[in-house]
Amino acid sequence: MLTVKFSRLLCNDSSYSGIPATLLFCIFLWVLGAIVPDFNSYDRAITIDDAVKRYTTGNLGNQLFWGGAFLIALYLTFKVKAISSVLINSFVPLITLISIAVVSCLWSIEPGTSLRRVILQIFVCYSLIAVVFALPDHKVVLNIIYKALCVVLFYDFIALVIMPWDHFYGFPGIHGHKNSMGTIAAIALYVGAWSYSTGKRNVSLYGYFISWSLLIVLSMSKTSIILFFIPIILYGFSISLKKILRSVYGILFFGAGGLFLSILFIVAIGIDEFNLSDLVSLLDDDVLTGRGYIWKYMLSIIYDNGALGFGYAAFWGTEYASFSAGLVSRLNQTHNGYIDLLVQFGLLGYLLILGFLIEASRILHRASADIGLYFITFCMVMFLLLHNLTESTLFRSTSILWLMLLVFYLLSHKANLLKSSFDRSIT
């Protein structure tokens, strides 16, 4: 009875979806650090050895949470026929991506770590598939995410009051780093804009906008603040390009063109063509804040374990990374999601970059059937693709941006299936 009442509150109407609504709400609270908020994360200092041990052995609480979510998702599969009916035919790109990660365990430098992390990825993906297809529509899904972000907002304001933080380096909230705070604030503002577009007009929504706008400014995350506006500007241009993106040739052109430019830039840095390597070094201190050094170092070692890379999630947070040069030994990512794909999968990484770009185009194409869904999908997809030029969130199982991409990937599939079903019913 308590679950029913709670789910009605989450779904914002008299109908309810019980277990899937509650599970989705808990998933986002967990990933956003709001189930057990940590108001001391900014002050915690751990040694490099501690960091390696933590990332290599994993977090027991995280494993238990996602294991439980996966079991609930299996239960939902038996209860909701729509889930099992779309699993194979609708998610070939996602299944292919996970299959490559599984196979990479064969050549991984840390096969146990790769296997454990790919199992976690499977738990995450399947849990989201189950809840998205068990819930009525995208409005219910996004409304639940909106409410989860309201809870996170509450905790972040508590942190603003009670948690010591450096006003020069930016406010991290309960998320441990200013860039994480900025990213979550940007996501929250997009979700708020979607809520506004559905006709919601009340004081609480305006307070939500003002509060998250304040937090993104206080975070002082230049990356998040700048990237927040770019997708909105690009959205205006995209309206006139929708006819191109709706065709198969337009999708392939968009994906292949993006891949060509990405590869050209990455390879040019590595071989110092066009003096881009020197340009990166020049911009490193003030603009890239050290990322250029990391990129060049990682590009120099991506084939140290052979042409197929180090294996899924087998470099960062392992003993191998701890013995890397200087600053790199103190990190848990390349600060570039595309280079991280090359680190993990070597030459296959180039195909995965192409796959991500093409699938991003297909997500936008499918979401265009619903103008309300299209706006937030476009903003989130473009934000993620651009964000991964300076941070690494692609195919990282519990990254909030990766989860959001999965959600919109699934929502666009669902919208497309519903449209196809409707079209068949009237012909």
pLDDT digits (tens, 9 = 90+) for 146-195: 999 999 999 999 999 888 777 667 888 999 889 999 999 999 999 999 99
Query: What pLDDT score was predicted for residue 65?
Result: 96
Please list, residue by residue across 130-151, b when 16 or more beta carbons sit within 10 angstroms of its beta carbon and e when fewer do.
Answer: bbbbbbeebbbbbbbbbbbbbb
Instruction: Return the higher-pLDDT residue of 189 and 50.
Output: 189
- Kindly report the pTM of this predicted structure: 0.86
Q: What share of the chain has pLDDT > 90, as a percent?
A: 40
The token duo for 294 is 């990391």
Q: What is the dihedral of CA 164, 168, 172, 178, to 10 degrees?
A: -160
Rounded Cα gap, residues 115 and 110, in angstroms:
9
φ, ψ at 302 (rounded to 5°): -60, -25
The string of pLDDT tens digits covering residues 395-412 is: 998 899 999 999 999 998
**Cα diameter, the chain:** 66
Over residues 74-83, the mean pLDDT reads 82
Query: What pLDDT score was predicted for residue 14?
Result: 41
Name the pLDDT band for 273 (thresholds 50, 70, 90).
very low
- Look at residue 114 and give its three-state secondary structure: helix
The string of pLDDT tens digits covering residues 368-403 is: 777 778 899 999 999 999 899 888 999 998 899 999
Q: Looking up tokens 């890239």, which residue turns up?
A: 288
Q: Residue 281 carries which side chain, given as an amino acid letter? A: S
Query: What pLDDT score was predicted for residue 42?
Result: 52
Name the pLDDT band for 256 (thresholds 50, 70, 90).
low
* Neighbour count for residue 193 (Cβ, 10 Å): 14
Average pLDDT, the chain: 80
